[in-house]
Amino acid sequence: MRRRFVTDLHVHSVLSPCAAVEMTPRNIIWHAAKYEIDIIAIADHNAGANVRAALDAAQGTAITVVPAMEVETKEEVHLLALFGQLEELLIWEKIVRAHLPEKLNDTDKFGVQFVVDAEDNLVKVEDRLLLTSISLGVEEVAEQVARLGGICIASHADRPSYSIVSQLGFIPPDIKLAALEVSGRLGREQTLQKFPVLENWPLIVSSDAHSIDRLVNSPKTAFWLEEPTFVQLRQALKDGTISWIKA
């Protein structure tokens, strides 16, 4: 029997330089449990090093953590790459790093990139610039993620920057996307009226949280699943057994 799982597939940790220092994996899991967010995806910019800590921190809780990453393509389009297993994400992370510019992070401009463990202890500071585009295009990213068994969702498709619509002006008809993410600030009908290009795609709402306040108070998506697994999430996107939850 299916039941409703409150889901947020776009949450940044302190590895993303633009995230608040409160966004440690342990603190994210604690607040997800407190505010009954059943499934979350830690999706840092071009990196996945804090996902293991989130998985470890979620042990003994009812929270399901989806291994994920927010990738910036060469067109400056942001895509969520989600996987069923941490090992798949780590393979994908190696591919991303091979296509990431050899630049150092400017901490004064972008912020510090922290890798931490499940107890929020500092493991290291990531010196390589993550908040930048890689040398793979939108369709290449979607194709390679699919080959690894993952899915891609176009991030914040209704925003005026770093979205597939703002950067390309259209959505390639044959691109391997499982869904499009929108902010949820408008209702579904208003969103489609303003952005008709989004029609005929599964639409989810996520927080794109860089702070705890946004994690807790942003709209979410309800997935109707038999159990909170990646396989069932992917199938729900195909079946349309999802709905938006207002903040």
- Domains, the chain, in order of start with CATH, read 3-245 (3.20.20.140)
**What is the mean pLDDT of the segment spanning 211-228?**
97
- Cα–Cα dist 201/191, whole Å: 12
CA 239 vs CA 59, 89, 233: distances in Å: 30, 25, 10
**What is the mean pLDDT of the segment spanning 161-178?**
96
Name the strand (E) or helix (H) holding 83: none
Tokens describing residue 135: 């040398």
The whole-chain average pLDDT of the chain stands at: 97
DSSP state of 196: G
Share of residues in the chain with pLDDT > 70 (%): 100
CA angle, 13 as apex, 9 and 18 as ends, to 5°? 105
So what's the pLDDT on residue 186? 84
Banded model confidence at residue 184, pLDDT cuts 50, 70, 90: confident
Taking a C-beta distance cutoff of 8 angstroms, is the pair 191, 182 a contact?
yes
Stated pTM of the model: 0.97
- Residue 147 backbone phi and psi in degrees, to 5: -65, -30
Banded model confidence at residue 230, pLDDT cuts 50, 70, 90: very high
Tokens describing residue 148: 């690894």
Taking a C-beta distance cutoff of 8 angstroms, is the pair 162, 155 a contact?
yes
Residue with tokens 């499982």: 178
**What is the mean pLDDT of the segment spanning 64-74?**
98
Name the strand (E) or helix (H) holding 11: strand 3-11
